[in-house]
Amino acid sequence: MKNFKKIYHSALVVAISMLASQTGYAAVSSAEAEALGSTLTKFGASAEASSDGVIPAYDGGLKNPPTVGPNNYPDPFADEKPLYSITQQNMQEYAPLLSEGSKALLERFSEYSIEVYPTHRTMTYPDWFLENTLKNATTARLEGTVEGDKVAGDADDGYPFQGIPFPIPQNGYEVMWNHFFRFAPAVSRLQSRNWLVDSRGNRSELPGIKGAYLHPWSEKTGEMKKRTYNAMFGFWTELYSPPTSAGTQFLNYYLPDATDTSKVWFYTPGQRRVRRAPEFTYDTPMGSYAGVIVWDEPFGFVGRMDRFDMKLVGKKELIVPYNVFGTTNQSTSQEVLGKQFVKPEYVRFEKRNVWVVEGTRKSDARHAYSKRNFMIEEDCWCLVATESFDDAGKIWRVAQIHNFPAYDVGGMNSDTWMFQDLRKGNYIIINGGRTEPGNFVRSYSSDEGLGLALTPRAVQGHSVR
């Protein structure tokens, strides 16, 4: 009997240890965390240059940026020319550095090209955020009955400290959570235009947006976090066009507990009341974008991960969009819209270190996509590209997120994104054309004094009557 108890106890310990390993509940050890600030930056990126020197060592981010304009951000690299172009004819030469989505675009469109520029590590962090990241390294952990559902830590409220939760990630879920908690302007206020280009090259303007994108964990005092249900990310937006949609508002928050999908509301002038919209999740088509994308695709990915097994493929050197000012700040919508794809001369690509996460749909789950690949750049922990596959395993949609440094307040602005539908042959681009009359983007380190509608009651008060 004693031997049986001993064997049972040993088996239980092994089982618990295996479970902790599989779910990623355990933080890294103090010894592992010592790499932060030495071989790794304090936020978990490679500190030194790549072996070929193309990716430089990290030296603190963008130096001597230009002055922010009244409506947009001037390109600090406007005088640079592409080092080379990748085309359908020479793509095999660069194949190891290309994602499946980039290869698919090059194979599909004979005129498509990838314009590759020098790599600049422009991401900047405040010291307080980095110190919190160091504390998170050994204390932040995944929780929840479903792997990847919740993040906890040792801050007084039971959450991680306001920093990157997993600077030395152990699995795909941790990398994805780093993306959600990334440092960015606490508030990005904007007005923009959005477009759908069909398979024949015809342009249709989608509803125009004005409002604010929110990263409350990037606000130093923590007060904004309290005002926004502890959300890592959120948005309050109002449609200003077309006239039939004008006045429609959305208020969405994404929380450290992803099981809570109740913090989603919308207002329509016709009904004149704010309603909850917990169904705005997963693969529900987005009506405001003509159903071209689904509700967990804005900004590359938002929402709960429970329908996918998130495998960490690892860190790779890839050529991806980065420091993109052409589509975001330096052109009009009409200039960037090609008949089959966004004109390549407006999209800057660089060779970067990128975390690759492969999400495979669980056998008992329902979703329009059978597999999704996510590419998250190591400096900003922001998505730069995604790839989504249909039930036959064929690539369906390719997304590019056109990040640029918000160099007045720090962090990266990730609000412009493009989705190419390879089945229908169309594409959309969201939040571009900031040089057009009335359009703008401005960044803030807090929501204080901005008069944002951050609660359902405030949305009601802001409504058109």
> Is residue 164 in a domain?
no
What residues have CB less than 8 Å from 459, skipping those under 6 apart?
A: 236, 249, 251, 265, 267, 274, 453
Structural domains in the chain (count)? 1
User: Could you report the per-residue pLDDT of 174-187, keeping only the tens digit for each?
Assistant: 999 999 999 999 99
User: Could you report the per-residue pLDDT of 225-237, keeping only the tens digit for each?
Assistant: 999 999 999 999 9
Taking residues 37-58, report their average pLDDT. Answer: 98
pLDDT for residue 138 is more than 80: yes
Report the pLDDT value the prediction gives residue 131, as an integer from 0 to 100: 98
DSSP string, 241-299: ESTTTTT-EEEEEE-SBTT----EEEEETTTTEEEE-TTSSTT-B-GGGTTSSBTT-GG
Taking residues 54-80, report their average pLDDT. Answer: 96
State how far the Cα of 229 lies from the Cα of 159, in Å rounded to an integer: 12
Report the pLDDT value the prediction gives residue 21, as an integer from 0 to 100: 38
Report the pLDDT value the prediction gives residue 405, as an integer from 0 to 100: 98
% residues pLDDT > 90 (the chain): 85
> Is residue 328 in a domain?
yes
pLDDT for residue 50 is more than 60: yes
Q: Which residue, 412, 413, 408, 447, is CA-closest to 222?
A: 447
Produce one character per residue of 408-427: b if its CB has 16 or more CB atoms within 10 Å, e if not: ebbbbbbbbbbbbbbeeebb
Confidence grade of residue 112 (pLDDT, cut at 50, 70, 90): very high
Confidence grade of residue 108 (pLDDT, cut at 50, 70, 90): very high
> Is residue 40 in a domain?
no
Mean residue pLDDT across the chain:
92
Taking residues 232-260, report their average pLDDT. Answer: 94
| Choice among 151-165, 280-294, 360-374 with the minimum mean pLDDT | 280-294
Return the structure tokens found at 314.
Answer: 């690892």
What residues have CB less than 8 Å from 446, skipping those under 6 apart?
A: 186, 187, 219, 220, 221, 223, 224
CATH number of the domain that residue 435 is part of: 2.50.20.10
> Is residue 130 in a domain?
no
Question: Between β-strands 426-432 and 141-143, what pairing exists: parallel, antiparallel or unpaired?
Answer: unpaired
Structural domain including 287 reads 84-124+176-462
> Is residue 220 in a domain?
yes
| Choice among 198-202, 330-334, 342-346 with the minimum mean pLDDT | 330-334
Report the pLDDT value the prediction gives residue 428, as an integer from 0 to 100: 96
Taking residues 72-96, report their average pLDDT. Answer: 97
φ, ψ of residue 277 in degrees (nearest 5): -140, 60
State how far the Cα of 23 lies from the Cα of 49, in Å rounded to an integer: 33
Query: Which range has highest mean pLDDT (2-16, 129-143, 270-284)?
Result: 129-143
Angle at 309 between CA 307 and CA 313, to 5 degrees: 145
pTM as predicted: 0.93
Cα distances (angstroms) measured from residue 450 to each of 208, 228, 328, 453: 21, 14, 23, 9
pLDDT for residue 220 is more than 90: yes
> Is residue 102 in a domain?
yes
The helix (run of H) or strand (run of E) holding residue 178 is helix 172-180
pLDDT for residue 361 is more than 90: yes
> Is residue 344 in a domain?
yes
CA 101, distance to chain mean position in Å, is 17
% residues pLDDT > 70 (the chain): 94
Return the structure tokens found at 126.
Answer: 């405040």
Q: Which residue, 249, 247, 252, is CA-closest to 278?
A: 252
Report the pLDDT value the prediction gives residue 26, as an integer from 0 to 100: 65
Confidence grade of residue 25 (pLDDT, cut at 50, 70, 90): low
Report the pLDDT value the prediction gives residue 464, as an integer from 0 to 100: 55
User: Could you report the per-residue pLDDT of 256-289, keeping only the tens digit for each?
Assistant: 999 999 999 999 988 888 999 888 999 999 987 8
Return the structure tokens found at 37.
Answer: 């600030």
> Is residue 170 in a domain?
no
